[in-house]
Amino acid sequence: MTVRHCVIPAAGLGTRFLPATKALPKELLPVLERPVIEWAAEEAVAAGATDLVLVLAEGKDSVADHLRPDPDLERILDERGKTAELEAVRHAGHLARVSVVHQRAPRGLGDAVLCAAGEVGENAFLCMLPDDLSVAERPILAQLWDAHVELGTTVLALMRVGPDQISRYGCADIAESRGRRHRVRGLVEKPKADEAKSDLAVMGRYVLTPDIFAALRDTRPGALGEVQLTDGIGALLERGEVWGVEFEGELLDVGTPAGWLQTNIRLAARDPALRRALDAALASAAA
Ligand code: G1P
């Protein structure tokens, strides 16, 4: 079993980041010197994906352009001897094959994933929401794929969150645990804190099996009036097992202004070239 596709739903309006995202898709906001979509693509490729399927809203195709070759820009940088810049531009444009499908209306994450059905075909595939960056020795998507190879089922990324946080996420009801792997009995999207069956939240990284598409076609709008991926996966439980992995490593939020700022600072602190500038800025801010 080898990975081929990674579906990246990126059709959202970016309302949490307005007005920055009025004209600029949130997936093109920079985190250090690279846009969010490139960090996401890197993780997918590190987990073995060769084909990225971007689910975009009309007008957001610039997100895909970032991951495509740009021969004119490459030629100019080459002529000017801008070797490092040329390398960076080439890198982004040749990470993987890229295809785009459009979600015509914001009908929810489940509907967005369903839009990718024609591209993915009959194989299990990776799916990731680019609102968080993965910082892990083994990429989180790769940890999920490892579990999929052993178990053969749909696999979700799970993380323990506090009771005040769970209503922001899909929540897993657990039937059985083997170390950091948990067999899921049920899933509820955005439960009220006092109705949550566990503290295990679904974290926007998935291995999905192709039967998800039929399940999503039959899924009616749920939480927030949207077709929820969580509900589509929940429907698979009637026929087989679904597992979750409490992954090793961290997800860093880049989908909200505060999270984005913290993530930039965390990553800058690890970058020798930026560390001094960061220290100087923080020292002067504290003065
Ligand atoms: C989506 C999913 C939810 C998951 C979350 C992770 O929700 O529907 O199950 O827990 O991503 O970030 P959203 O954040 O789009 O509201």
* The length of the chain, given as a count of residues: 287
Q: Which whole number is the average pLDDT over 224-233?
A: 96
Quote the domain boundaries for residue 245: 5-255
Q: What is the pLDDT of residues 185-218, one digit of tens each?
A: 999 999 999 999 999 999 999 999 999 999 999 9
Long-range contacts of 152-155 (CB under 8 A, 24+ apart): 153/209, 153/240, 153/241, 153/242, 153/243, 154/206, 154/207, 154/208, 154/209, 154/212, 154/233, 154/236, 154/242, 154/243, 155/206, 155/207, 155/242, 155/243, 155/244, 155/245
Per-residue tokens: 232: 């589509």
Q: Is the pLDDT assigned to residue 1 strictly greater than 80?
A: no
Residues 202 and 287 in one domain: no
Per-residue tokens: 219: 């899924």
Over the chain, what is the mean pLDDT?
96
Q: What is the pLDDT of residues 250-282, one digit of tens each?
A: 999 999 999 999 999 999 999 998 999 999 999
Q: Name the closest-CA residue to atom 10, ligand 1.
A: 169
Residues 158 and 170 in one domain: yes
The confidence score (pLDDT) of residue 192 equals: 94
Exposure of 224 by Cβ count < 10 A (0-12 exposed, 13-18 middle, 19+ buried)?
A: exposed
Residues 56 and 186 in one domain: yes
Q: Ligand 1 centroid vs 170 CA: distance in angstroms? A: 6
Q: What is the pLDDT of residues 8-32, one digit of tens each?
A: 999 998 899 999 999 999 999 999 9
Q: Ligand 1 centroid vs 241 CA: distance in angstroms? A: 21
pTM for this structure?
Answer: 0.96
Q: Ligand 1 centroid vs 91 CA: distance in angstroms? A: 30
Does residue 128 line the site of ligand 1, with CB under 6 A? no
User: Residue 204: enclosing H or E segment and its boundaries?
Assistant: strand 200-208
Residues 49 and 156 in one domain: yes
Q: Name the closest-CA residue to atom 11, ligand 1.
A: 204
Count of structural domains within the chain: 2
Phi-psi bin for 192: left (phi > 0), alpha (psi -120 to 50), beta?
A: beta
Ligand 1 atom at minimum distance from 202 CA: 10
Q: What is the pLDDT of residues 107-132, one digit of tens each?
A: 999 999 999 999 999 999 999 999 99
Ligand 1 atom at minimum distance from 131 CA: 12
Q: Which whole number is the average pLDDT over 218-234?
A: 95
Q: Is the pLDDT assigned to residue 69 strictly greater than 80?
A: yes
> Quick one: CA torsion of 219, 225, 230, 236, rounded to 10 degrees?
-10
Ligand 1 atom at minimum distance from 203 CA: 6
Residues 114 and 248 in one domain: yes
Residues 113 and 210 in one domain: yes
Residues 29 and 149 in one domain: yes
Q: Is the pLDDT assigned to residue 76 strictly greater than 80?
A: yes
Q: Name the closest-CA residue to atom 7, ligand 1.
A: 169
Residues 192 and 68 in one domain: yes
pLDDT confidence band for 287 (50 / 70 / 90): confident
Per-residue tokens: 118: 């024609």
Q: Is the pLDDT assigned to residue 145 strictly greater than 90?
A: yes
Ligand 1 atom at minimum distance from 230 CA: 9
Residues 184 and 274 in one domain: no
CATH number, domain with residue 73: 3.90.550.10
The confidence score (pLDDT) of residue 286 equals: 86
Q: What is the pLDDT of residues 160-177, one digit of tens each?
A: 999 999 999 999 999 999
Residues 220 and 242 in one domain: yes
Determine what percent of the chain is predicted with pLDDT higher than 90.
96
Residues 59 and 116 in one domain: yes
Residues 50 and 120 in one domain: yes
Does residue 227 line the site of ligand 1, with CB under 6 A? no
